[in-house]
C-alpha cells in the first residue's frame, strides 16, 4: 500500500497531514528517511517509523463493550451519546456496533470495523446464540416460560425455540437464537408481563467480562476472536 495511506490508516492524520510529516523528514522506512508519500510499503514486513517510533499496522479491531443505559447502538446520533463515542481508542478506524441493544439495555456489545465478521454474526441463517439476564415486573408462571421457550408470534413469525431459566423470583436467563427488534421484551410481553431490566451476558461464544464496568471496554483476546470467527 502507499505510505500516505499506511500513515492515514494508522492514525497520523489526513493524506495532506501525513504528506507534511513526510516532507518534514520524520518518517523512515527500514531506517531510511523517505520523502515520497506515494512510496509503496509492505505493512506487514517493512519497519515504518514516525519520529523514530515504530508504527504497527492494525487492520481490524474487535472490542467488547459493557454498554450502559442511555447510550444508543449507532455510529452517529444527533441527540444521544453513541456506543462509538464511548470508545476512546482507534478513532481513525471506522468502528461500528455488531447489531443493536436498546437504549435501556446494558451489557455485551461487540464493536469492530470487520464488516465480513459482523455480517456473518448477524446473518439470520447463522442463529448466533444470545443470552440475556432479565427482570420482570411480575413472576413468570411455568406456562409463561413454556410459551417463551416454544415460540411467540413476532411480526407474524414464530420465534425459534428459546431457553429460559429462573434465577430468582422475577429474574431469568433467556437464550435466543435470533435478533428481532425488541425481541426479548416482546417475547415477555406476549405473556402479559413486562421486562423492567435487561442485560446481555453472552453473544455467541463470548461471555461478558465481569471485570468490565458499565461503559468500559477491552480488546478481545486472540482466542476470543478465533472463537467468533469459527462460530458455527
The catalytic residues are 102
**Using CB under 6 A, which of 182, 202, 205, 212 touches ligand URA?**
182
Based on the shown chain and the rule CB under 6 A, indicate whether residue 148 belongs to the binding site for ligand URA.
no
Based on the shown chain and the rule CB under 6 A, indicate whether residue 135 belongs to the binding site for ligand URA.
no
Sign of the CA dihedral running 17, 20, 22, 24? negative
Based on the shown chain and the rule CB under 6 A, indicate whether residue 185 belongs to the binding site for ligand URA.
yes
- Report the residue number, 55 or 128, with the smaller CB distance to ligand URA: 128
- Report the residue number, 95 or 101, with the smaller CB distance to ligand URA: 101
Based on the shown chain and the rule CB under 6 A, indicate whether residue 198 belongs to the binding site for ligand URA.
yes
Based on the shown chain and the rule CB under 6 A, indicate whether residue 178 belongs to the binding site for ligand URA.
no
**Using CB under 6 A, which of 29, 110, 111, 184 touches ligand URA?**
184
**Of 63, 189, 207, nearest in space to 129 by CA:** 207
CB under 6 A: which stretch of 9-17, 48-56, 139-147, 176-184 binds ligand URA? 176-184
The 8-class DSSP code of residue 34 comes to: -
Q: Is 101 left (phi over 0), alpha (psi -120 to 50) or beta?
A: beta
- Report the residue number, 12 or 203, with the smaller CB distance to ligand URA: 203
User: Which residues ranging from 67 to 106 are in contact with ligand URA (CB under 6 A)?
Assistant: 101-102, 105
Q: How far is the CB of 131 from ligand URA (least distance, A)?
A: 11
- Report the residue number, 113 or 159, with the smaller CB distance to ligand URA: 159
Q: Which residues contact residue 203 at a Cβ distance below 8 angstroms, ignoring those fewer than 6 apart?
A: 98, 108, 109, 110, 121, 128, 129, 130
Can you tell me the distance from the alpha carbon of 163 to that of 169, in angstroms, rounded to the nearest whole number?
17
- Report the residue number, 145 or 184, with the smaller CB distance to ligand URA: 184
Q: How far is the CB of 181 from ligand URA (least distance, A)?
A: 8
C-alpha cell at position 161 = 425455540
CB atoms within 10 A of CB 80: 12
Can you tell me the distance from the alpha carbon of 42 to that of 44, in angstroms, rounded to the nearest whole number?
5
Residue whose C-alpha cell reads 413486562 in the numeric block? 194
Phi and psi at 174, nearest 5°, equal -125, 125
- For ligand URA, the binding residues (CB under 6 A) are 101-102, 105, 182-185, 198
Amino acid at each position: 500500500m502507499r505510505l500516505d495511506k499506511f500513515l492515514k490508516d494508522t492514525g497520523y492524520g489526513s493524506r495532506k497531514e501525513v504528506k507534511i510529516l513526510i516532507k518534514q523528514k520524520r518518517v523512515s522506512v527500514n531506517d531510511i528517511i523517505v520523502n515520497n508519500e506515494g512510496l509503496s510499503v509492505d505493512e506487514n514486513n517493512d519497519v515504518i517509523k514516525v519520529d523514530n517510533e515504530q508504527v504497527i499496522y492494525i487492520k481490524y479491531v474487535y472490542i467488547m463493550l459493557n454498554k450502559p443505559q442511555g447510550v444508543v447502538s449507532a455510529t452517529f446520533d444527533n441527540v444521544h451519546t453513541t456506543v462509538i463515542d464511548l470508545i476512546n481508542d482507534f478513532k481513525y478506524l471506522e468502528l461500528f456496533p455488531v447489531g443493536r441493544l436498546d437504549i435501556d439495555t446494558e451489557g455485551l456489545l461487540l464493536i469492530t470495523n470487520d464488516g465480513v465478521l459482523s455480517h456473518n454474526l448477524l446473518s439470520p441463517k447463522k442463529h448466533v446464540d444470545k443470552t440475556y439476564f432479565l427482570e420482570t415486573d411480575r413472576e413468570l408462571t411455568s406456562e409463561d416460560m413454556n410459551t417463551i421457550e416454544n415460540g411467540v408470534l413476532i411480526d407474524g413469525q414464530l420465534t425459534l425455540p428459546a431457553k429460559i431459566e429462573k434465577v430468582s423470583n422475577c429474574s431469568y436467563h433467556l437464550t435466543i437464537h435470533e435478533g428481532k427488534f425488541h425481541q426479548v421484551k416482546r417475547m415477555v410481553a406476549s405473556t402479559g408481563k413486562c421486562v423492567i431490566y435487561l442485560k446481555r451476558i453472552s453473544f455467541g461464544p463470548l461471555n461478558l467480562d465481569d471485570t468490565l464496568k458499565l461503559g468500559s471496554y477491552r480488546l478481545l483476546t486472540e482466542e476470543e476472536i478465533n472463537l467468533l470467527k469459527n462460530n458455527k
